[in-house]
C-alpha cells in the first residue's frame, strides 16, 4: 500500500506522447492529422493534443506533460526524460519507461529500434554502461515477455515460465527470470536483437505479448548488493476488439486490452496518490509491483501516429486522465470519480459514433428506475466513494454480453446490494434475468473489494443511458442491460463466449439457467443448471455419491454441507414461499425498502419491467431476519472459500483435477507451487498465481458452489 506522505506533492508517473511520422503526406496535411499545442515551446510544462478541424468545437483536446514530435530525436528523449531516471537507478531506486498506444503506433521502434537506428532502451544501456564503468558497478539484463497472463524468461533457451511470487512483506520475487551480465553495448545488442530471430515467445502470430527489458545495476562486482533497476516495457498495441478485419482473435485482443487497462489503472492510482493501487489486476502489474511503487518513477510514453485513428484517440484519452490524475489535488475521491464519469460520457462525439448499438424501445423503461435508484445511491452511498475513484479504465468492451434473436428477446439486469456488517464487508450480487414471461434471480455473495468495483461500474451505467450502450468506452457496459441489433449478433455472441460467467433465463417457462463459461483450456463450456428445486437434485447427487465413493472430491462434500445450511437459512418462516421456479426477485419498492431501512445501497438497471411476483418482504428489513441472513451468508461464503483454498493447498493432483477449471496443467502447477511454499493459497487473490483472472476465480467458485444446487 502506498502511503500518502510518500508521494505527496509529486507525480509518480510522467505522461508524454511520441508522434510517429505520417506515412501519408496527404493525410498529414488534412484535418485527420493530430496537432500539438506547446504554449511555451520546448519549455512547456503541459501540452495539448487535438485532432484537427474534424473535431473542432468538441472537447477533443488532451493535456499531457509533453509531446515529442517527429523532428525531436530519441536522443532528446534520453536527455530530457531518461537521464534523471538513470541517476535515480544508480542511487538504488527503480525506474520504468513504458510505451503504450494503439497497434503499429511505433512502440517497438521507440523502445528497441533497429540495429541501424537504436531505440531508447539501447541508448539508455549505453549511458548506463559508461556510468557503471566510471563507478565500478556492474550491469546485467533480463528480458521477459508476458503473454496470456504468463511471464516468460526469453533469455533462457527453453523460454522458461517465470513464477511471480509474493514474499511475506509483499516483496515480489520473479522466480526463474535470468539475469545476464552485460559489459558492452554490442553484447547487449546481440542479446536484444538476436531474440527477434530465435527466441520470440509468441511464435503463434495470433498471440500478442508485452515485452520488457530490465537493466539491473549491482554495486561493485556482481555478488555485491544490488542498486536499482531500469525497466523498459514495450506494451502490446491496443485495438478495439469489435473490429471485424483484425488478424487477431477477439479473445486475444480482449485479453491484451484487459492487461493494458490494468496497467493504466495502476498508473492512474499512483499518480492520483490513491491509497489502494490495483497491482493484482494482471500478471504484468503484479510482476512490476516493486518497480512501480514507493519512490520509484515511471515515464509513460503514449505512441501516436500522426494520422488520426480511433484506437490512438482512445489511448490518448486515457493517458491524459492518468496525467491529470497527478496534476489535480484530488482529495475528494467522489469528485474525481464524478469528473471521470462525466468526461467519459462527454469526451467526444467520436465515442458515441463508434457505438453502433441501438437502444431498443424496451430500454426506455430503465430510465425511470435508474433515476430513482441513482438518486438514492447519491443519498446513501458515501462510504464507497474512495473505492470508486480507483477503477478508471475498466474492462470496457471486454465484458459485454449481448444477446438477441427474433424469437426471444432477452435482457439482463444486475443489482448490487452492498451492506456493511460490523467490521467485515459483504457484498451481495443479485443477478436478475428477465424474459417476456417472467423473471429469475440469483444471489451470489462475493468478496467486497471486487464487487465494489462492479458496483462502481454499474453506478456509471446509471448516470448516462448513452454510456450504458457504449461498450468501447465505458467501464459499465458489462453490467447494464444490453439489447442489440441482430446485425451485431455475431460479435455479441463472441463476447458472450469470451466473457463469462453470466446467467441467462432463456425461457421463463423452464427452470433452467444457462451458464456460459470458459474452462481451463479456454474452450467454451456451457452448462444448464437447474435452479434450486427444493433439494430434488441434491438428493440425486447424494445418492450418486453413495453409489460411487470415488465420484466426488472431499471439497464437494464439505460445500454440500454449507449448501444445506444456506438453504435452511433461505427459508425463514417470515417469508412467504417463493414463486414456483425461481429464486428471490425483489420489486423496486422492496429494493427501496432495503436501502431505507438498513444502510444498504441498491442499484439496478432493468430494461424490461420486472413483473415480480408479489411477495412479502419484511418491512422491518433492517431488523433481525435480514441481519441474520446477511451474517450467515457472510459466514457461509467465508467457510466455502476457506474450504476451497484448503482443498487447493492439500488435495492431490487427481483430486485437484476434479475441480471445475483445473486441468492437468493447472493441477501440476499447483502441486509445484506447494513444493515451493507449503500453503500457497492463503486467499482468493493467490489463485492469480496459477494464471486465473479475477473473473475466472469468481466463475470457478460460482460453478463449484452452484453445482451443489443441482
Ligand atoms: N518514428 C518512426 N519513424 C519511422 N518509422 C517508424 C517510426 N515509428 C514506427 N515506425 C515504423 O512503423 C511501423 C510500426 O512500428 P512498430 O513496430 O514500432 O509499432 P508497434 O506500436 O510496436 O506495433 P505493435 O502494436 O504491433 O507492437 C514499423 O515499420 C516501424 O518501422
pLDDT digits (tens, 9 = 90+) for 63-94: 999 999 999 999 999 999 999 999 999 999 99
Cα of 70 to ligand 1 centre, how many Å?
Answer: 13
Residue 245 inside a domain? The answer is: no
ipTM greater than 0.95: yes
What integer pLDDT is reported at residue 709 of this predicted model?
62
Q: What distance in angstroms lies between residue 41's CA and the mean position of ligand 1's atoms?
A: 26
The reported pTM is 0.54
Q: How far apart are CA 228 and CA 124, in angstroms?
A: 14
Taking the mean position of all CA atoms in its chain, how far away is CA 54? 32
Q: Contact, 633 vs 442, CB < 8 A?
A: no
Mutation test of ligand 1: which of 106, 196, 209, 256 has the most ligand atoms closer than 8 Å to its C-beta?
Answer: 106
State which of 293, 327, 361 marks the end of a domain: 327
Q: Are residues 255 and 383 in the same domain?
A: no
Coil vs helix vs strand at 530 = strand
Q: Is the CB of 103 under 6 A from ligand 1?
A: yes
Does 331 show up as a binding residue in the annotation? no
**Is the residue at 585 inside a domain?**
no
Q: Are strands 180-181 and 138-147 parallel, antiparallel or unpaired?
A: antiparallel
3-state secondary structure of 373: helix
Q: Indicate whether 312 and 394 sit together in one domain.
A: no
The predicted structure's pLDDT at residue 528: 31
527 and 556, same domain (yes or no): no
Task: Map grid coordinates 417469508 to a residue.
Answer: 575
pLDDT at 399: 32
Which residues of the chain, if any, have pLDDT below 50?
Answer: 1-9, 56-58, 197-198, 329-391, 394-554, 570-622
What's the pLDDT at 269?
93
Cell of residue 563, nine digits: 449448501
pLDDT of residue 127: 96
Q: What is the pLDDT of residue 235?
A: 96
Give the sheet arrangement for strand 47-50, strand by strand.
35-37, 47-50, 61-64
Residues 486 and 562 occupy one common structural domain: no
Looking at residue 279, what is its pLDDT? 93
Instruction: Write the CA distances from 669 to 661, 663, 691, integer angstroms.
Output: 13, 10, 10
109 lines ligand 1 (CB under 6 A): yes
Residue from 17, 18, 20, 68 whose mutation best tests the ligand 1 pocket (most atoms within 8 A of CB): 20
The reply, when asked if residue 244 is annotated as ligand binding, is no
* CA–centroid distance for 216 within its chain: 29
Domain boundary among 327, 356, 380: 327
Q: Both 613 and 553 in a single domain?
A: no
Among 302, 327, 352, where does a domain finish?
327
Question: Is 102 within any annotated ligand binding site?
Answer: yes
If one residue of 67, 109, 235, 238 were mutated to test the ligand 1 pocket, choosing by the most ligand atoms within 8 A of its CB, it would be 109
> Which of 67, 72, 104 for mutating ligand 1's site (highest number of atoms within 8 Å of CB)?
104
pLDDT given for residue 215 in this prediction: 96
pLDDT at 559: 60
C-beta atoms surrounding 342 within 10 Å: 13
Residue 103 labelled as part of a binding site: yes
Question: For ligand 1, is residue 216 a contact (CB within 6 Å)?
Answer: no
Question: Do 340 and 267 share a domain, yes or no?
Answer: no
Residue 434 assigned as binding residue? no
Q: Tell me, using a 6 A CB cutoff, whether residue 107 lines ligand 1.
A: yes
Distance 108 CA to ligand 1 centre (A): 6
Residue-level pLDDT at 414:
34
Number of domains in the chain: 3
Report the pLDDT value the prediction gives residue 562, as an integer from 0 to 100: 58
* pLDDT on residue 627: 78
Q: Does any domain span residue 586?
A: no
| Domain presence at residue 4 | no
Domain residues for the domain of 648 are: 532-580+623-710
CB of residue 20 inside a 6 A radius of ligand 1: yes
pLDDT given for residue 374 in this prediction: 32
The enclosing domain of 125 has a CATH number of 3.40.850.10
Statement to judge: residues 318 and 420 lie in one domain: no
Kindly give the distance from the C-alpha atom of residue 115 to the centroid of ligand 1, in angstroms, as a whole number: 14
Question: Which residues are paired to 301 by β-bridges?
Answer: 16, 99
From the CA of 193, how far away is ligand 1's center (Å)? 16
Per-residue pLDDT, 563: 59
**How close is the Cα of 303 to the center of ligand 1, in Å?**
9
Whether 406 and 536 map to the same domain: the answer is: no
Assess if residue 108 is contained within a domain: yes
Residue 370 lies in a domain: yes
Sheet with 524-530: strands ordered across: 502-504, 512-518, 524-530
pLDDT at 321: 92
With CA atoms as reference, report the closest residue to 233 among 323, 159, 300, 304: 300
Q: What is the Å distance from ligand 1's center to 104 Cα?
A: 5
Same domain, 430 and 545: no
Ligand 1 centre distance from Cα of residue 113 (Å): 9
CATH of the domain at 645: 1.10.150.280
Strands (E), 333-471: 411-421, 424-434, 439-446
Looking at the fold, whether 380 and 447 belong to one and the same domain comes out as yes
- Is 105 known as a binding-site position? yes
User: Is 362 a domain residue?
Assistant: yes
pLDDT for the residue 163: 93
Q: Name the pairing type of β-strands 210-218 and 138-147.
A: antiparallel
Does 5 map to a domain? Answer: no
Question: Are both 375 and 522 inside the same structural domain?
Answer: yes
Residues 312 and 337 placed together within one structural domain of the fold: no
Our answer on whether the CB atom of 106 is closer than 6 Å to any ligand 1 atom is yes
Q: Please name which of 510, 506, 509 lies closest in space to residue 530, comparing C-alpha atoms.
A: 510
Amino acid at each position: 500500500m502506498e502511503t500518502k506522505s510518500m508521494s505527496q506533492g509529486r507525480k509518480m508517473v510522467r505522461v508524454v506522447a511520441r508522434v510517429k511520422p505520417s506515412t501519408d503526406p496527404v493525410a498529414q496535411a488534412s484535418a485527420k492529422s493530430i496537432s500539438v499545442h506547446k504554449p511555451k515551446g520546448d519549455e512547456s510544462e503541459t501540452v495539448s493534443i487535438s485532432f484537427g478541424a474534424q473535431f473542432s468545437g468538441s472537447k477533443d483536446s488532451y493535456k499531457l506533460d509533453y509531446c515529442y514530435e517527429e523532428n525531436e530525436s530519441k536522443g532528446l528523449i534520453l536527455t530530457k526524460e531518461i537521464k534523471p531516471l538513470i541517476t535515480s537507478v544508480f542511487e538504488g531506486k527503480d525506474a520504468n519507461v513504458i510505451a503504450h498506444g494503439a497497434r503499429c503506433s511505433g512502440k517497438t521502434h521507440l523502445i528497441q529500434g533497429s540495429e541501424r537506428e537504436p531505440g531508447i532502451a539501447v541508448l539508455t544501456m549505453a549511458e548506463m554502461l559508461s556510468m557503471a564503468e566510471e563507478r565500478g558497478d556492474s550491469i546485467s539484463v533480463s528480458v521477459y515477455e508476458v503473454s496470456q497472463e504468463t511471464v516468460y524468461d526469453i533469455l533462457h533457451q527453453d523460454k522458461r515460465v517465470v513464477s511471480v511470487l509474493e514474499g511475506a512483506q509483499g516483496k515480489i520475487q520473479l522466480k526463474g527470470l535470468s539475469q545476464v551480465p552485460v559489459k558492452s553495448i554490442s553484447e547487449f545488442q546481440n542479446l536484444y536483437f538476436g531474440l527477434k530471430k530465435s527466441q520470440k515467445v509468441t511464435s503463434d502470430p495470433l498471440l500478442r505479448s508485452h515485452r520488457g527489458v530490465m537493466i539491473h545495476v549491482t554495486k561493485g562486482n556482481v555478488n555485491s548488493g544490488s542498486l536499482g533497476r531500469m525497466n523498459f516495457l514495450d506494451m502490446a498495441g491496443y485495438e478495439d476488439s469489435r473490429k471485424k478485419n483484425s488478424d487477431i482473435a477477439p479473445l486475444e485482443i480482449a485479453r491484451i486490452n484487459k492487461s493494458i487497462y490494468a496497467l493504466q489503472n495502476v498508473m492512474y492510482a499512483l499518480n492520483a496518490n490513491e491509497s489502494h493501487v490495483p497491482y493484482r489486476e494482471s500478471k504484468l502489474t503484479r510482476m512490476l509491483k516493486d518497480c512501480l511503487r514507493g519512490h520509484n518513477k515511471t515515464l509513460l510514453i503514449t505512441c501516436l501516429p500522426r494520422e488520426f485513428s480511433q484506437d490512438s484517440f482512445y489511448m490518448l484519452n486515457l493517458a491524459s486522465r492518468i496525467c491529470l490524475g497527478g496534476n489535480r489535488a484530488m482529495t475528494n475521491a467522489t469528485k474525481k470519480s464524478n469528473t471521470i464519469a462525466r468526461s467519459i460520457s462527454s469526451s467526444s462525439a467520436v465515442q458515441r459514433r463508434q457505438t453502433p448499438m441501438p437502444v431498443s424501445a424496451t430500454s426506455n423503461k430503465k430510465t425511470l428506475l435508474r433515476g430513482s435508484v441513482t438518486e438514492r445511491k447519491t443519498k446513501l452511498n458515501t462510504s464507497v466513494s474512495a473505492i470508486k475513484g480507483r477503477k478508471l479504465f475498466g474492462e470496457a468492451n471486454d465484458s459485454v454480453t449481448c444477446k438477441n434473436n427474433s424469437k426471444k428477446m432477452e435482457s439482463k439486469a444486475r443489482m448490487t446490494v452492498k451492506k456493511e456488517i460490523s467490521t467485515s464487508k459483504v457484498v451481495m450480487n443479485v443477478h436478475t434475468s428477465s424474459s417476456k414471461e417472467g423473471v429469475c434471480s440469483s444471489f451470489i455473495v462475493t468478496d467486497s473489494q471486487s464487487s465494489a468495483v462492479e458496483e462502481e461500474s454499474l453506478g456509471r451505467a446509471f448516470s448516462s443511458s448513452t454510456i450504458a450502450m457504449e461498450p468501447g468506452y465505458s467501464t459499465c457496459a458489462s453490467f447494464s442491460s444490453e439489447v442489440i441489433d441482430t446485425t451485431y449478433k455475431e460479435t455479441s455472441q463472441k463476447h458472450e463466449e469470451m466473457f463469462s460467467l453470466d446467467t441467462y433465463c432463456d425461457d421463463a417457462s423452464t427452470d433452467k439457467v444457462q451458464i456460459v463459461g470458459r474452462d481451463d483450456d479456454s474452450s467454451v463450456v456451457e452448462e444448464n443448471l437447474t435452479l434450486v428445486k427444493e433439494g430434488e437434485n441434491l438428493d440425486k447427487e447424494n445418492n450418486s455419491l453413495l453409489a460411487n465413493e470415488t465420484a466426488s472430491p472431499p471439497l464437494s462434500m464439505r460445500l454440500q454441507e454449507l449448501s444445506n445450511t444456506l438453504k435452511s437459512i433461505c427459508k425463514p418462516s417470515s417469508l412467504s414461499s417463493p414463486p414456483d421456479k425461481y429464486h428471490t426477485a425483489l420489486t423496486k419498492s422492496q429494493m427501496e425498502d432495503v436501502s431505507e431501512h438498513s444502510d444498504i445501497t441498491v442499484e439496478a438497471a432493468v430494461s424490461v419491467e420486472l413483473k415480480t411476483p408479489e411477495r412479502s418482504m419484511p418491512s422491518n428489513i433492517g431488523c433481525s431476519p435480514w441481519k441474520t441472513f446477511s451474517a450467515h451468508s457472510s459466514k457461509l461464503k467465508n467457510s466455502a472459500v476457506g474450504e476451497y483454498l484448503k482443498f487447493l493447498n492439500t488435495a492431490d493432483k487427481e483430486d485437484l483435477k476434479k475441480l471445475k477449471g483445473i486441468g492437468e496443467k493447472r493441477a501440476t502447477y499447483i502441486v509445484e507451487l506447494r513444493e515451493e511454499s507449503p500453503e500457497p493459497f492463503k486467499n482468493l487473490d493467490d489463485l492469480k498465481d496459477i494464471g486465473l483472472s479475477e473473473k475466472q476465480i469468481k466463475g470457478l467458485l460460482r460453478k463449484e458452489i452452484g453445482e451443489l444446487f443441482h
